[in-house]
Structure 1
Amino acid sequence: MDNLRKTLGCLLLFLFAAVTSTYAQVAKQYSGTVTDADSNEPVIGVNVTLKDAQTGTVTDLSGKFSISAPVGSTLLFSYIGYVTKEVKLGTNTSLKITMQEDQNQLSEVVVIGYGAVKKSDITGAVASVSSKQFKDQPVKRVEDILQGRTAGVAVTSVNGLPGGTVKVRVRGTTSLNTSNDPLYVIDGIMSGGLDVNPADIQSIEVLKDASATAIYGSRGANGVVLVTTKKGVEGKVQIYADVAIGVSNILKKYDLLNAYEYATALKEYNGISFADDEMEAYKNGSKGIDWQNLMLQTGISQDYKLGISGGTAKNKYLISANVLNMTAMTITTKYQRAQLRINLDNELTKWLTLSTKINASRTHSHNGGIDIMNFLNYSPTMEMKDPVTGVYNMDPYNSVNGNPYGARVANYGDSYVYALNTNMDLTFKIMKGLTLSVQGAANYSHVPSYSFTSSLAKPGQISGMENASRMNLFWQNTNNVTYNTSFGDHHLTATAVFEASGAEGRNLKLTGSDLANEFVGYWNAKNAKTRDGENGYSAEAIVSGLGRIMYNYKGKYMLTGTFRADGSSKFQKKNKWGYFPSAAVAWDVAKENFMSKQNIVQQLKLRASFGVVGNQSIGAYTTLGMLAPTNYDGYGSDAIHTGYWTGNLATPDVTWESTYQYNIGLDTSVLDGRLSFTAEWFRKDTKDLLLRKPAPQYNGGGSFWVNQGEVRNSGVEFTITATPLTDKDIFGWETSLNASYLKNKIIDLAGSDFIVGENYTSIGGGPIQIKKVGYPIGSFYLYEWANFNDQGANLYKHQSNGSLTTNPGADDLVTKGQAEPNWTFGWNNTFTWKNWTLNLFINAALGQDRLNVSRYAMGSMAGVYRFISLSDAYYKSWDKVANKADAVYASHKNSDNRNYPDSDFWLEDASFVKLKNISLTYNIPKKITKVADIQLSVSAQNLFTLTKYTGMDPEVYSESDYGFNGVDMGSYPVPRTFTFGMKLNF
């Protein structure tokens, strides 16, 4: 009995200990704070759960949590965009948890137009740029973000002026007579440009193949650029301030003859002599004009950004403002931009949300345009002004154009853009997986411009003024029904959209000349002796219906099909509708069972797609027969009569340009996402080209449009992204390299072999570009320079028999060179060490040519440029070199010498490699400053360029026939800029 009693006692004691131990474990309370490992800011809404159990909680607005858990158990901390963290619990009940951003998860969801999809499920060619890739760089416009960062996207500056034109091409030039610009879509609303503060951008996606772009139908032929702006974040108020100050200068100037050298050359070639005291003054520099120093200056930029965001789980907001002031490198040129954005997200009920986006902006450009080629050719020995009248003199020796300095300081102009963009989106959660989005937008812009011409600008100049105004209204309504469902291993997303959009434009212009006085500049119409005016109105609309199905089986077999129908007011009844289908398939081999035992390859996806997209970038009334009014003098009287002549012939059969696209792609990701590789092959066949043809004079003249011709773009693209080093406390390195090869070729030109481009009558010569079957768009049409003859005259090749001549004819013109590059590259590197970050960004273009008309003008004594100003054209001419084999320029004395601007002597290889950005930043965390996270930065843009091109900048160009580039007529170069910045995050 005693033994039994002892046994029962021990058993009860053991059970009591077990129960009390278990009770103690269940009752243990743990609390703590979750913070971001980089910013040390609290992370709100983190899921805190007990591993292998259902209990859990979330962090509050301060990142704090409290949970009951047994000692020895494990807590899981998980949140979208962060690496899930496991913490084993001990006796310490006060926890401090830090979470690291998961770069792979952050890039998973990609916007694809009318929806979003996980990156792993994409079947088309989509390039994505996140804000992280440019947040530490002083970008001032969205196009700067795209340049060099996305394979297949070529970004070229037409000029480097503040607010200047930038050309974006996605997979080449497809159209000859219509726009080649991509479609821009900002937060789901189609836009005519990229009027967005870069600091407001969350991500940019570029849709490149038909599988991705066919959803936009007749507007998708040139690619689609989707911009998604940031939203407010739930939690405490976040405030940021950003200040960047930059100084800019010309990276490269021409080596011109100084006043003494110019005077010496004038005497040598033209027999013009200067007095001895003048020559001495030119020699010692006390007299003479350095035109480059006079017209160019150090540019200054001031970029201020301020933003505030926050909110609750149901109501979030983001408000941001940006003010940019820029003084250009050319005298009197200024540019200003001010923007205000308000983004609101409201959960009205459990089944209804409202998203509101408002963006207001104002830009102002003062004296925006400049003719650099003109001042490069002006004489350094001339007198600037008439001392009696104050009129700016013309060049007595060289250029016959007006005084470039007088044109800048006596004349002036201002242009403005006032824009208000509004966007509201109501989203209804109808049932599980089924949503309806009703989105409406209205974008209004007012574009006034004013110019004044002074009688002092040059001799004989008649004073004048011009006031012009353009008002545009664009509206869009998009109704999107999307159904997401999963059943077993199958996932389906179906989208149906009805969309309507339209645009109206009004313009008004008033001009006056021979002003009674010039004191009030362009506000002077009443005092003009002669006045004229004109106005106009246009309206267009498009209605669309579209559908898309995305199917996914086990994440390894994917299928996407889209169909869109567009009805456009631009085409007449029988061709009003266009239909644009596409299909794409993908197979992720890495998800197959035979790959399950390896852990190196996470993705090995093969893709293929085909589709048709369109282009309807013609005028609102292009297909209608139209008469153009004109005024003419009455016979035998002073009366003015109005008459009409044929402007446009009616073309009811004209329809959409259609681009048939084929794409094959490969996506790989290895080593847990630390190394990824994408390769693409594509072909774009654009058929039924919209060509404008002249009508014969016997039919009344004018022009008409036809659907004839074909252009092909084909190529390959490669993108490699890697994170070789991941520990930023030791050393971190992220790198991304992209490369694109593009071949452009004209297949057909309405039965013709070629179409000759426009003449550059301002410099003489004939047509310099040609559209020719078998050659790329932007090919040059030039005389083939052979060498110099024994007297130093230029020799050109006769194409008929190969003989040489100093006087070639039209039959001797040949097609050669190309304006667009074959290869483009971009290489972005980010190095981190503790609180330091270094970024190096390089882009390159290979295989492009430029016709350097500026060098022709400075190096020739021909046409309107009557004398030379380029130093090499004098010292390396046939006349000056001892060894004639070393001559670079022809003799300026030989009367048989002929310099032609349309000669391949002036055609140069303009391939280049540019260090686009190098920036160094240092982050001071809030835990040190006690006030805010502070980031200090210093950076340089366009620090150096490697190129054989002798012009100022191989990247820029002067727009030619229908916007094709390749001709340098003194384009404003992209400046070298040094920027100093400071960012504060409160």
Structure 2
Amino acid sequence: MKKTENFKNSRNIPQLSINRVVAMILFSACLFAWPILLAAQDKTIHGRVTTERNDPVPGASVVLKGTNKGQVTNGNGEFVITATKGAVLVISSIGYANKEITVEDDTRINVQLSPAAKDVGEIVVVGYGTQKKKDLTGAVASVNLESLREAPNTNIGQFLQGTVPGLNVGIATVAGGTPPISIRGRVTLNGNQNVLMILDGIQYTGSLSYINPDDIATIDVLKDASSTAVYGAQAANGVILITSRKGKINQQPRIAFSTSYTSQYPTIGKLKPYDREGYLNYLKEAFYDKAYLAPDYTTPNPDFKIEDVADNSIRNGQGGLLPNNYDWFGEGTNTGTISETNLSISGGGDRVTYLVSGSLVDQKGFIVNDKFKRKSIRANIETRPLSWWKVGLLSSAAFINQDGAEPSFGSLQRMTPLIVPYDTAGKLIPFPMNTLEPNPFTTYHVDDYDRTNYFFANIYTDIDFPFLEGLNYRMNFGNNYRLSKHFFSSIYDAGQTGRAYKEFQDYYDYTFDNILTYSKKFGDHDITATLLYGAVGRKFNSTFSEARGFPRLTLSYNNLSQGTNQFAQSDAWEENLAYQMARVNYKFKDRYLLTAILRRDGFSGFAKNYKYGTFPVLALGWILSEENFMKGIPAIDYLKLRAGYGINGNQTSRYTSIARVTTNAAYVFGDGGTTAFGQQVSSLGNDNLKWERTKGLNIGVDFNAFNNRLTGTLDYYRNNTYDLLYSVAIPNVTGFGSITTNLGQIRNSGFETSLTYNIIDKKDFKWSATANFSTNKNQIITLTGMDANKDGKEDDLVSSSLFIGKSIKAIYDYQLDGIYQLNDPRIPGFPVGSVRIVDQNKDNDITQQSDRVFLGRQEPAYRVSLFQNFSYKAFTVSLFLNSVQGGRNGYLGNNNPSFFREDNSIRVNNLQGIDFWSPGNPTGKYPRNISGSRAKIEPSMYQDRSFVRLQDVSISYNLATSLLKKFKAQSINLYVSGKNLYTWTNWEGWDPEANDNDGNPMGLVIGGRPVLRGFTVGLNIVY
């Protein structure tokens, strides 16, 4: 469909004047160079910052109170700063309580820091600002990135698996791939299901594979309505806030270099195709009725010859078997590798801070030509023209190279070892099996140019108004631009006549935010109010040119005019959003907390009657540990209760509310006349299509106990989504099959907890453990609301597998009871070796209407992970276990590698280790039907996908301080690590967590992709 509809709906949303924005940017940028020199101080202070056990505290901040002047301690905890007598130095470091020291006559001072209540004073990034963790009223969690830096992850998403309860991250099976990510399960049927990504305050619409993980300082996850509401309708599925690293005020230039090399191997066990001997035995078992004697078919038939049943493709001219034993699988795969190098320089004075970084990543997957190369650069610069004014630039660029095409992995598994890919002259044989099954290397021997360039920039100004203390204005102008080029040619396409194409795509979006914040503390009252006005615009264009039928392809894709048949397509779309938000954070006596939010969103994709939606939130918090009645409980160091209730929206995809037009071949004038093209309406519009609304309740507890050795959070949530966006089937007499409308209600609820315990905390030995646990359940409450049978019960949408009172991924299917043996009585239509289906109504027939039952659900029952960190002097060892469990009848996946004997199934190879039934293997799990007619019904076979995975292990060594001084470095760290080392599971097939492109689990199927086990050696150096 050509998306050339009138954009009048988009114009109903206020759009930003680009000229005005550019003028503002230029005005701000011209002020970057305004330096204001500070007066020289009187004396030089030498100091050292240590813990209570006299261990150095590197990276601690030492700042002159009331100024922006400061230093950062080196690897030995030392610092040098100039100050006048009577000045106050503020020393701070994450995990320790701040300490203030007044400068006296001494020029050398030693400072000891005491541990702070863990996490309580931590600053957490929230929407449009930051907050102390103790002041949060919503469900916000931070990812411990430092513990996973040494894992071989080229994608930020791969860092997130199992790290935060409620953050559900799958697994990627392609080089550089982004795993599927969700937060707290599904709250919609057909609405937007994507988690909102915010990079440095700006909505990020690119792939996570474009971001260099080494550039990231923090990742925070917003999970409930009271924390996500500031981002409105686009945050219905949760928010991930990514903040990049920056320089620090008065920091000496810091140079960080890291390099690593990873080898990767598939975790597939026996999932390889048969070699020659195995394939011939597999073929023999497929003809057990000939290879063995009746009646029990277990005694070998001495007259049986495999050549008599083999396909012609594996026989020579004399009828004998070809002598080959070609390893198709081995030739199409190799050892996966990742080579990564990062370099960054950061620092700053009292007016300017900076960070510049570059990175090179070269990943080769297990399948030949599964490649991912990334070159990335980043420049984060901030200047203070005046003490109350900041202007900055957060920018990055990534250049992605995915040239080359894989051989067909499914065909590599199907090809029998008795045939070869090349003839005696070394020329590729397009169809070596003499069927429509192509040579898997026809997709490999191509000319493929696949590049994507991605650019991100956020230009901002931040003003603390000097005439009114506490009033701040911030302007963000963020830009995402993506340019993709995909050029391709293959002589084997288009029926061996050759095909080539060139495809260009470009995408651009901007975000313009105006944020006004006022903070004031008076007496026991502390209030922060935030106002936001912003707009987002997005544009996409693509052009596709193709030719087929080439006399030769010597010029590859660079001269499409040589093709006999030439085609051209183009596409474009545009959408706009506008939004306003007001938020009030109020704190009384440092113990009673209130957050109130009102957000209003407008989106061009909704109908003219419902362009805007308004979404309120209210959340409360109570720090009980500040109450007098809690002071007598010494075990409790910190305890907070919080509860929030609010409404979030969810938006539809573009153009679903309007009638759309397509162009197709429509008329033929006269016999043998030419075809004329015409336009026709392809979908119905709906002037009343409106926003989905999710009403969410979250109740949580945060606590520290036992002298802050134990910290934890607990959360219970319940979300109800109304006015679901859904395509409802309508009578075909209308000329259309469906219309998008609002209907029904679903419920999503769950429980989450995260606990961290410092088991041992000695000077030379430390041992800490973090456990995460989460459950989630969804339920369909109503659908159409219609009662077709007038029996007082609402109808299910059986054809869409949606059932009232069940989960969205409920499994309504046939119950199985083994496999029909040779002499078993059978229901008509089910031959020997097929699956026995339970006849629920005992009528000796199997039908969809009468014999299907609820078997369980595809969603898991719970997720759990355990991270442990051990350190002894300079050695550190970390272990990370991750698990997804189905519980009772949960996390089920279809896994039915059934065999039906026909021409195709006997000429293609199969995977080793599949336990097919046969008379000689009566306990086989999977059906083998050789009757010549398919079973009346070939049902799905569901298995539990539950697993426990040893996901990450690392061992690192920090060189001693004396060596650091010799090399003039702050730190030198050597490490080895492993990823996906072992998985305990009863799932048979490819990895239990891996899904195909349609989101279905990959069982014992041809074409599944393996998850890779990785081993890494790395080095980190900081100067």
Class of the TM-score when normalised by the shorter of the 2 chains? 0.7 to 0.9
Q: Which residue of 1 aligns with 2:586?
A: 551
Q: State which of 655, 663, 667 in structure 2 corresponds to 1:629.
A: 663
1:206-225 aligned at under 5 Å gives the runs 206-225=221-240
Give 2:169's aligned residue.
155
Q: Please name the residue that 2:25 is paired with.
A: none
- Report the AA paired with residue 988 of structure 2: T
* 2:111 is the alignment partner of 1:111: no
Task: Note if contact 1:34-1:43 (Cα within 8 Å) is conserved in structure 2.
Answer: no
Please report how far the alpha carbon of residue 242 of structure 1 lies from its aligned counterpart in structure 2 after TM superposition.
0.8
Q: Please state if 1:827 is matched with 2:866.
A: yes
Structure 2 segments unaligned to the other structure (5+ residues): 1-42, 291-304, 786-793, 823-831
1-structure distance, mates of 2:949, 2:447: 34
- Aligned with 1:293: secondary structure? helix
Correspondence for 1:618:
653
Which residue in 2 is equivalent to 1:189? 202
- In 2: Cα distance, 1:723 partner to 1:745 partner: 39
Alignment of 1:429-508 (within 5 A): 429-430=464-465, 431-455=468-492, 460-508=495-543
Distance 1:416 1:627 in 2: 32
Note closer, same or farther for the CA distance 1:432–1:901 as it changes in structure 2 (3 Å cut).
farther
Map 1:876-895 to 2 at 5 A.
Answer: 876-881=916-921, 884=922, 886-895=923-932
What TM-score, normalized to structure 2?
A: 0.83
CA contact (8 A) 1:583 1:611 kept: yes
Judging changes above 3 Å, is the alpha-carbon distance between structure 1 residues 298 and 198 closer, same or farther for their aligned structure 2 residues? same
Instruction: Specify the code of the residue in structure 2 equivalent to 1:974.
Output: V
Flag the 1:557–1:696 CA change in 2: closer, same or farther, 3 A. Answer: same
565 and 269 in structure 1: CA distance in 2 versus 1, 3 angstrom threshold: closer
Deviation at 1:175, TM superposition (A): 2.1
Q: Distance in 2 between matches of 1:953 and 1:327?
A: 20
RMSD of aligned Cα (Å):
3.6
Contact 1:796 1:808 survives alignment (8 Å): no
State the SS of the aligned residue for 2:557: coil
Per the alignment, residue 302 of structure 2 pairs with none
Instruction: Show the counterpart of 2:619.
Output: 584
Q: CA deviation at 1:880?
A: 2.6
Cα-to-partner distance string for 1:641-672 (whole Å, 9 max, x where unaligned): 21233322111110111111111111111134
Does the residue aligned with 1:405 lie in a helix, a strand or coil? helix
Match of 1:240 among 249, 256, 278: 256
Q: Distance in 2 between matches of 1:933 and 1:716?
A: 41
Asked if the contact 2:901/2:930 (under 8 Å) is kept, the reply is: no
| Whole-angstrom distance in 2 between the partners of 1:945 and 1:164 | 20
Q: Are 1:259 and 2:276 an aligned pair?
A: yes
**Aligned with residue 747 of structure 1, among 760, 766, 781:** 781
SS of the residue aligned with 1:877? coil
1:495-527 deviation per Cα after TM superposition (whole angstroms, max 9, x unaligned): 111111110111111122122212333334112
1:323-722 aligned at under 5 Å gives the runs 323-367=360-404, 372-385=409-422, 390-394=427-431, 396=433, 401-407=437-443, 409-411=444-446, 413-430=448-465, 431-455=468-492, 460-619=495-654, 621-631=655-665, 634=668, 636-637=671-672, 639-701=674-736, 703-722=738-757
Unaligned runs of 5+ in 1: 1-28, 49-53, 758-768
Match of 2:62 in 1: 45
Q: Deviations over 1:703-751 (max 9, x none)?
A: 4211112222111001101222223x42112221111011122222324
How many residues are treated as equivalent by the alignment?
920
CA–CA separation in structure 1 for the residues paired with 2:463 and 2:63: 27
**CA 1:176–1:342: 2 relative to 1, 3 Å:** same
Encode CA deviations 1:161-215: one digit per residue, 9 max, x unaligned: 0122421110002222233111111111011143422112121111111111111
Cα separation, partners in 2 of 1:551 and 1:641, compared to 1, 3 Å: same
Kindly report which structure 2 residues correspond to 1:781-930, keeping only aligned pairs within 5 A, or say none.
781-791=812-822, 792-797=832-837, 800-802=840-842, 811-847=850-886, 849=891, 851-852=893-894, 856=897, 859-861=899-901, 865-866=905-906, 869-870=909-910, 876-881=916-921, 884=922, 886-895=923-932, 898=935, 902-904=939-941, 907-924=942-959, 925=961, 926-930=964-968
Higher relative contact order, chain-length normalized (CA < 8 Å, sep 6+): 2
AA paired with 1:266?
A: L
- Mapped partners of 1:67, 1:164: distance in 2: 51
Distance 1:499 1:242 in 2: 39
In 2, Cα distance between equivalents of 1:867 and 1:174: 46
Deviation at 1:836, TM superposition (A): 1.0
Name the SS for the 1:856 alignment partner: coil
Check 1:411–1:694 CA distance in 2 against 1; reply closer, same or farther (3 A cut).
farther
Q: Which residue of 2 aligns with 1:134?
A: 148
* Aligned partner letter, 1:258: D
Distance in 2 (alpha carbons) for counterparts of 1:107 and 1:95:
26
1:783 counterpart letter in structure 2 = Y
For 1:305-343, what per-residue CA distance to the aligned partner results, in whole angstroms no more than 9, with x for missing partners? 110001101100001111111111001221111111111
The separation in 1 between residues aligned to 2:59 and 2:603, in whole angstroms, is 52
Aligned identity (percent) is 26
> Which residue identity is paired with 1:291?
W
Residues 389 and 770 of structure 1: is their aligned pair in 2 closer, same or farther, counting only changes over 3 Å?
A: farther
> 2 CA distance for matches of 1:178 and 1:526?
43
Are the aligned partners of 1:30 and 1:69 in contact in 2 as well (CA < 8 Å)? Answer: no
The alpha-carbon distance between structure 1 residues 325 and 794, as it changes in their structure 2 partners (threshold 3 A), is: same
2:826 matched residue in structure 1: none
Cα deviation, residue 555, structure 1: 1.8
One-letter amino acid matched to 1:118: K
The 1:570/1:887 distance shift into structure 2, 3 A limit, reads closer
Report the counterpart of residue 1016 of structure 2 in structure 1: 979
CA distance in 2, matches of 1:370, 1:679: 48
The superposition leaves residues 879-922 of structure 1 with CA deviations (integer Å, 9 ceiling, x where unpaired) of 333xx3x2333344334663966422xx2111111111101111
Match of 2:985 among 919, 938, 947: 947
The question of whether the paired residues in 2 share the 8 Å contact of 1:34 and 1:59 is answered with no
Aligned residue number for residue 244 of structure 2: 229
Q: By how many angstroms is 1:404 displaced?
A: 2.2
Secondary structure of the residue aligned to 1:211 is helix
Residue identity in the other structure for 1:449: H
Query: Which AA in structure 1 matches 2:837?
Result: K
What is the TM-score when the length of structure 1 is the normalising length? 0.86
Match of 2:157 among 143, 149, 157: 143
Q: Is the 8 A contact 1:850 1:954 kept in 2?
A: no
Q: Quick one: distance in 1 between partners of 2:115 and 2:558?
A: 58
Q: Classify the secondary structure of the residue corresponding to 1:623.
A: coil
What displacement does 1:628 show? 1.1
